[in-house]
Amino acid sequence: MAQVAFKSITRPRPDSAIDWEQIAYLVLLSRAMDRIEETRLVPQKKVLYQFSARGHDMAQILLGKQLTGKHDAACGYYRSRPLLLALGVNPADALGSAMGRAGGYSDGRDIGVVFNYPNPNGASALPMCGGVGAQYTPTAGWAQALKYYVDTLGDRDYASDIAVVLGGDGSVASNGFWSALTIATTQQLPMLFYIEDNGYGISVPSTFQTPGGNIAANLASWQGLTIFDGDGTDPGEAARLTRDAVEYVRTRRKPAMLRLTMPRLEGHSFQDTQGYKDAGTIQAELERDPLPKLKDYLVPDVLSEQAWQTLSERAEATTEAAREQAESRPVADPQSVCRHVFYDGELQQLGGQHRHGYRAPASTGQAQEAGQRINMVTAIRRTLDHELSVNDRIVLFGEDVGPKGGVHAVTLGLQKTYGSGRVFDTSLSEEGIIGRAVGMALAGLVPVPEIQFRKYAEPATEQINDCGTLRWRTNNRFAAPMVVRIPGGFFKCGDPWHSQTNEVAFVHQPGWKVAVPSNAADAVGLLRASLRGNDPVIFFEHRAMLDHSWARRPYPGDDYVLPFGKASFCRKGDQITIVTWGAMVPRCEQAAEGYSADVIDLRTLMPWDREAVLSSVRKTRRCLIVHEDLGTAGFGAEIAAVVADEAFMDLDAPVSRLTMPDIPSPHNPVLLDWAVPSADRIRDKIIELLGF
């Protein structure tokens, strides 16, 4: 009889380079924290939002322990607490934030599962967002900043650091994911896309998000992207893939994707009953729980049964102590909730050039008045040119801003002078333009992204909102100062796509300053203040004023700076106050000829000069507000409300507004001229109010 040789199958030994005892402890700690929330804190209504990480925890912790670079950064989402524990977050901060207590991530301002962690001793966790997919493009911006520090500034201290973004299988259908993927692969950035595929986006199967349900398979032929794909519940495989993916990005300086499959062992949130899963599916997921697999992998080869039990008891004790400490923390003083909307003198812990020691050059508010009058296009270009020359952290980018110089020629020649590392074109994605600017600002650069026309900012609305609230919702831990240049308004004609103003939408986004200069000198002063400041700014460039003869002024000087919130009196008088901005300023000046009027150019809408308006109205006793935007809910309504509230007894006539009707800008010049307030219509309104 032939003899059959049996090959002995030996279980692979755990990678000795990994501190498996620490990995096991952190997984047990994460489980204990989830358990105490689910069984005690949520039922007691001490935690209002709870997103269990069970099933995701082991692989995240393996990832976090690979992030050892001084400037490594990761941006996760609401199921990323295990990663934060691996980076060194205090468990009491984690539980305290979940309970909305003082201290922790936000001082109770943001939901506790939306983490941030400015880590001075290693990898930071960039501020997470509540919106699915919003984490991708800011992480791409951080990765591009790492590349900028090395390639453009020659700073080798950033040469081996990486950016990591975490997302679920549902998030790969978002605009942010595809925009970041395009940015990372076309620019070859050191960025790792870490996709946790648990098969569901809340209740929607992954096959609804991606054909076949496997984003890694779908992207196998995506040029410039290396794919790693495997089982996130197998300790050995997850450790190997995580190590290989991180090492690839760190050494090759190229993007990669690591997709790991894993079960979500709880509902999307605590309130989710998972009624959309049948009993067989739930049982199959429980059988894939990585925690028993981890124990089986380590005991007895690395840890004894008693050692494992000791780690478990230690994790439980740490969690209970963290709960006691968190519950002892008070709720923040309600009056403090209005702090840190803008920079108020206390420097943020991470983000912006000032955090890196920037000190603005000496400036003056006195404009030079000699010299040739230049148009606003030239004035803005000259200001950008000068600030680029004295500050190597400034970067300009957007669609067509490079060799073409922008569709309005504002950046013409700047790429030739400063190179494509500092002035560059982007892919056609406003989400990507603003999102990457957020990441670059967090990394200490001064991004100056351009949105070609006001209406085109709409796809970036989520990133604009998230950027504005970033300082506030992290309680001044992070800030992302930038200057977003947006041309808009009518020109020789109008249309619904290129000619809107709608500045009020930005004013209603907390944390954004908004500049609306009407002339070349004001544009210089406000732009320079923005570039040297410590807050995000919307810098509105009115298309009709870019080459308008009235808007031409002598260049006011390379050190000329205008403060925000300080209006300009274009005319002085005592019969009526006319409040306006942008392209309506010269029309109001023309209409006021022959009358004794204060014509006030606000110059900035956030903040706006309330005192100048109120003091003028108390003197003239009449107020007319003129703007190009729609009347209903336009910014003029805010001014009118303040005047009525604070100067009502001083008025001799009703506060009046003259605006566009509630329609988009018409294309035909005849229709446009009818819709936009003209000097004649403004004059008629002045006469009407003076005769009241």
**Which residues does the annotation mark as catalytic?**
498
Place of tokens 């006793």: 621
Tokens (6 digits) for 158 = 């950033």
Please tell me the total number of residues recorded for the chain in this structure.
Answer: 692
Q: Report the alpha-carbon distance of residue 437 to residue 435 in Å, rounded.
A: 5
Q: How many CB atoms lie within 10 A of CB 350?
A: 23
Among candidate residues 678, 687, 454, 489, the one with its CA nearest the CA of residue 586: 678
Helix (H) or strand (E) holding 589: helix 584-591
Amino acid at 307: A
Among candidate residues 471, 469, 499, 467, the one with its CA nearest the CA of residue 486: 499
3-state DSSP call for residue 162? coil
- 209-212 long-range contacts, Cβ below 8 Å, gap at least 24? 209/169, 209/170, 209/172, 209/173, 210/169, 210/172, 210/173
3-state DSSP call for residue 195? strand
Spell out the SS3 assignment of 255-316: CEEEEEECCCCCCCCCCCCCCCCCHHHHHHHHCCCHHHHHHHHHCCCCCCHHHHHHHHHHHH
Query: What is the DSSP secondary structure assignment for residue 194, as one 8-state letter?
Result: E
What are the b/e assignments for 412-451, b being 16+ CB within 10 Å? bebbeebeeebbbebeebbbbbbbbbbbbbbbbbbbbbbb
Reported as half-sphere exposure (CB side, CA atoms, 13 A), residue 176 has a value of: 28
Question: Would you list the DSSP string of 325-394?
Answer: HHHHSPPPPGGGGGTTSS--SSPPSB-SGGGGT--PPP-BS-----S-EE-HHHHHHHHHHHHHHH-TTE
Q: Report the alpha-carbon distance of residue 478 to residue 444 in Å, rounded.
A: 11
